[in-house]
Amino acid sequence: MSADLGPALALLHRLINDKNAPENCPEHFAADSELCRLYDDLAKIRQAFIALAAGDLDRRITLKGYLAGVVKTLQANLKHLTWQTQMIASGDFSQRLDFMGDFSKAFNSMTEQLASSSRIIREKEAELQAINAGLSQEIAARRQAQAALAESEAHYRNLTENMQDVVWVLDAGTLRFTYISPSVVQLRGYRPEEILAAPLEAALTAASAAEVRAMVDAALVEYRAGRGLPAGYTTAEVEQPCKDGSSVWTEVVTHWVVNDRSGAPEVHGVTRDITERRAFQEELRRQATIDELTGTFNRRHFLAGAEMEVHRCVRHGPPLSLLMLDIDHFKQVNDTFGHAVGDLALQAVAAALTRLLRRTDSLGRLGGEEFALLLVETDLGTAEVVAERFRAEVAAIDLHTDDGRPVPLRVSIGVTEYRPVADTMSMMLFRADQGLYQAKKGGRNRVVSVP
């Protein structure tokens, strides 16, 4: 070994093997520019591997070259594996791996076992539901007998007329209500006598009324053929019109009964206001899919939708393009004007992009100042034109601080399109990110496409 190479090799060995190796080339080697450049490149690759080992899959790898590309591919594969694991956690056991050797076999075996276990559980749940349905029928019959023996009609009316839920009886032959409790006034604004005088269609939306009529007709055909009435209880969510012109969402629980006096089949039901519950469910859905600051799709929901579009392209072959967009010098905006203005900048950019989107396109915030746009049935050439339109729209944003200082906003955009043979969303994200990197490197405020 040459004595002159000894210190340089020792330095590189330390970078590879020493946990506390310096991140930058030591100053006493500064005269050897080639050594320092090699050292800095290896240091960046080392930092990328350290980040991957620590579970940081979002670290940007700016270095170019074969080994850096390998690290980026590993990062993209690990991101895709993370997404697949999340899909499995949500109940999608169709996920499979084909790029990690023996681990892929173990992973695929695990998902197959999970799918089998899930199927067995569903079968057992169905059996339990059938058992519960039978038990509910027996319990209902017992309660009905006990009520007939222990309680008078006056006590029954006192109970139903003082509860918040609406109790009602529908004659199956005429489709007219024969009883409805006074609480319907609080629910829908109508008095009981108004409900009793009106046909079934007045109590439901047109679609719901048609469904109820079809259900009743089918049950009566079975009953008149001697096969009895439907057993058990049925629960459904129904939108009902109110007297003031609004509507209310309700949960309706129904049960078929043969009238003791007339022998005619009836539907007994209880209706409950579920407006707050549905609003809560809708808010949960919104929080699970929408980025709180910008109102765009969040990363998880955007990528899930993008994967579905890729699968659709595999089956049907329409063009599909992906744009990755990053606000130029966003850190400088935050440092100069404050994070509150930075938030306003993110909102302004999201609003500008949304204005130009078609209803079929998707916009998501991937994190920080980075956005992604999925353009369905759009080839690369058209996507480049659209990207330029987005870039110009952002550049035209007129944003000022409270004290009147202008906040200039510019974006760099990377563009790619779906490749018909064996392409994936991870690959498209990688290519679009490469285009974004080239746009940044080329001076920012520009569009670069990677076919």
Q: Please list, in sequence order, all residues whose beta carbon lies within 8 angstroms of the beta carbon of residue 302, skipping any fewer than 6 positions away.
A: 296, 362, 363, 364, 365, 366, 372, 374
Distance set, CA 195 to CA 4, 78, 305, 320, 363 (Å): 100, 61, 45, 54, 47
Residue 137's φ and ψ, nearest 5 degrees, are: -65, -45
Distance from C-alpha of 286 to C-alpha of 220, rounded to nearest angstrom? 42
- Confirm if 415 and 428 have CB atoms less than 8 A apart: no
Contacts of 392 (CB under 8 A, 6+ apart): none
Beta bridge partners of 228: none
Number of H helices, E strands in the chain: 14, 10
- H-only helix segments in 357-424: 380-395
Query: Residue length, the chain?
Result: 451
CA dist list (Å): 371 to 88, 105, 325: 26, 34, 5
Annotation says 369 is catalytic: yes
Per DSSP, the three-state class of 318 is coil
| Active-site position among 309, 369, 370, 417 | 369
| Cβ-Cβ contacts under 8 Å for 341 (sequence gap 6 or more) | 333, 334, 399, 401, 407
| Closest C-alpha to 411, from 373, 362, 359 | 373
Catalytic residues: 369
